[in-house]
Amino acid sequence: NLDGREKITIRQIAETIEMYGENDDRTKYRVYGQFPAIGERQLISGAAIDAALKYEAEGFEYMPLMLGVDVARFGDCETILQYRQGRKVYEPIICPTMDLMKTATFVSEQINRKKPLTTSVDGIGIGAGVVDRLRQLGHSVLECNSGNMSESPRYLNKRAEAYFALKEFVEGGCELPPDKLLTEDLRMLSYDFTDKGRMRIDRKQDFIDEFGRSPDRGDALALTFFYPHGDVFYNREELEPETFMDT
């Protein structure tokens, strides 16, 4: 399991091939470790990702440092800390598996050390407890809920809006770290449309069901695009709009 794929037995290999067929994307990934075929609804261009792995960002040292924290929700997920600065994305930081309080302490130590301008934390489930504890420790953090309504009516929710901002960031030229699972997350995510024509992104659970693992690294990076940043400060009400009920 060196590349992050779920462990799979010979019996499971046979069952996967029988269920989905040799050429299905799920078989390609779970059994052979190959990337899915590029489809019409692939979110981020594979060519752009390849270019980003060779790109060398300049002037990023003078740009604000952003931190996204995707908190593990259950067994196979990981808590990931992802920094972004200008056109440069840093290597993901993996938080050791710990309880809520120790996870919050780990994140707090990172904030104190690197002093990001904004820290955006996945506030769903156990993440809400991490947000509360970080605030108790005196940190100003943004609680992110993927289901919140986007600022643009083009998108179903904040998750879609953030990921499309990430798409523009990567395809516009950026430096990605040589992290295999991060680049896999970005390659494999796809988008679709709701019955009202709004764009939506694969849910975390949809991704897990199809590929056998969670897109924690991609989600952590997308969190750095959840809210505007810079010299303008926003109050809590402006940053946490009502939940959008479309499906």
Q: Assign 94 a pLDDT band (cuts: 50, 70, 90).
A: very high
- pLDDT at residue 229 in the model: 65
Is the model's pLDDT at 25 over the cut of 80?
no
- Return mean pLDDT, the chain: 85
Q: What is the pLDDT of residue 97?
A: 83
Contacting residues for 121 by C-beta, under 8 A, at least 6 apart: 68, 69, 71, 107, 127, 130, 131, 134, 141, 142, 143, 144, 223
Task: Output the pLDDT for position 104.
Answer: 96
pLDDT, average across residues 42-60:
95
**In the chain, pLDDT over 70 holds for what percent of residues?**
80
